[in-house]
Homo-oligomer: A and B are copies of this chain.
Amino acid sequence: MSESEQNRRVVIAALPEDRLEPSNFAVEVGPLPEVGPDHVLCRTTAITIGAGQRAGLQGSASYAGAPEVGAVMGGSGLAEVVASGSADFAAGELVRATTGWQDYSVHRPESLAPVDRAVDPAHLLGPLGINGLTAYFGLFDVGGVEAGQTVVVSAAAGSVGHLVGQMAKAEGARVVGVAGSDHKCELLVDELGFDAAVNRRSDEFRAEFRAATPDRIDVYFDNTGGSILESALFRMAVGGRIVCCGVASQYDTASPSAGPRGVPGLLVNNRVRMQGFLVFDYEDRYDEARERIGGWIDAGRLQPRATVYEGLEAAPQAFVDLLAGTTIGTTVVTTT
């Protein structure tokens, strides 16, 4: 057990009324949780944060359930087994766990998944974690992408987006990213192999978006909703698919925008399919996906990116930065 036997916990101090601020959270220190029989005590080593978690702070609107002031902020990541009442896990093992934003957490063994310590944690938390699985099932199962097709992804430099684009390239598609800065667009094209990238904040966004999709769009992987979704709707090819993965444009605001024009008229005219999904529905196929994703990593076709914050106390700021669009790739907070 670590030198400190205190459990740091980041709790919800106040629900955000508009944009999230670090002051919506507070750090508490308390005793370690008690471990019942058959349970496993874990010490968090790193957590990832996703923009979708902001929806969980909006109340009943989210699949994550209603948030509660005073509760430990939810989240998942990697943890080390500290004490185990289960024959399946031994102290010192590394596992995936829904740790929450805290140092110590207690789990039933069936909710933990062992991971290989030899694998780079950045890979475990990025392409082999929830972000990578989300990209994979969204792109291939929901989107049905095929070689030669045009894929557009929004929040393209983000945790899911930068993996979607690279997986689509690995499959032989033409890939266009939409991101929030010129810097991100350069990264996507120059370093991650995207065919084109468009800055959503450009005054000429519509014209640039049009120019980047001369053959229209077969698969639009939507992480944002809002105006980018609307622009994509007007560029869909006949038979195109819109993968509804997230609504980043709507999470961090008290005044969500109206629905996109073109729904449902353009869906009819162009026979477009628009489909929402949650990665958890694909749990029985995670192994299959991880095998394929691992192959791309080994072949150098998938370069994961991450923005790493050190220390559990940095988690609120990391979350605020993520929502403001200043992080790139997976947002990771290391806790040890």
Contact = CB atoms under 8 A, between A and B. Distances in A.
A262 to B, nearest CB: 7
A93 interface: no
Given A63-B269, A267-B274, A269-B278, 16 more contacts: A55-B265, A225-B264, A225-B265, A242-B264, A247-B265, A250-B265, A258-B258, A263-B263, A263-B274, A264-B276, A268-B276, A268-B278, A271-B275, A271-B277, A271-B281, A273-B274
Interface of A: 55, 61-63, 222, 225, 229-230, 242, 244-247, 250, 256, 258-278, 281
Q: How many copies does the complex hold?
A: 2
A29 to B, nearest CB: 35
Contacts of A278: 268-269, 271
Contacts of A275: 267, 271-275
Contacts of A270: 276
Nearest to A233: B259
Contacts of A266: 276
* Most chain B C-beta atoms within 10 Å of own C-beta, residue among A246, A266, A275: A275
Among A222, A265, A270, A281: residue with most chain B CB under 10 A: A265
A247 B271 contact: no
Contacts of A222: 264
A80 to B, nearest CB: 33
The 3 A-B pairs of least Cβ separation, nearest first, read A259-B259, A267-B276, A268-B276
A222 B263 CA distance: 11
A179 B222 CA distance: 33
Given A225-B264, A264-B247, A265-B225, A259 B230 contact: yes
Contacts of A264: 222, 225, 229, 242, 244, 247, 260, 274, 276
A262 B259 contact: yes
16 contacts: A61-B269, A63-B269, A229-B264, A247-B264, A247-B268, A259-B260, A259-B261, A267-B274, A268-B278, A271-B277, A271-B278, A273-B273, A273-B274, A273-B276, A274-B274, A275-B275
Contacts of A281: 271
A246 B263 contact: no
B229 A265 contact: no
Contact of A263 (B63, B245, B259, B277): B259
Contact of A276 (B229, B261, B272): B272
Nearest to A273: B275
Contacts of A261: 256, 258-259
Contact of A268 (B246, B256, B260, B263): B246
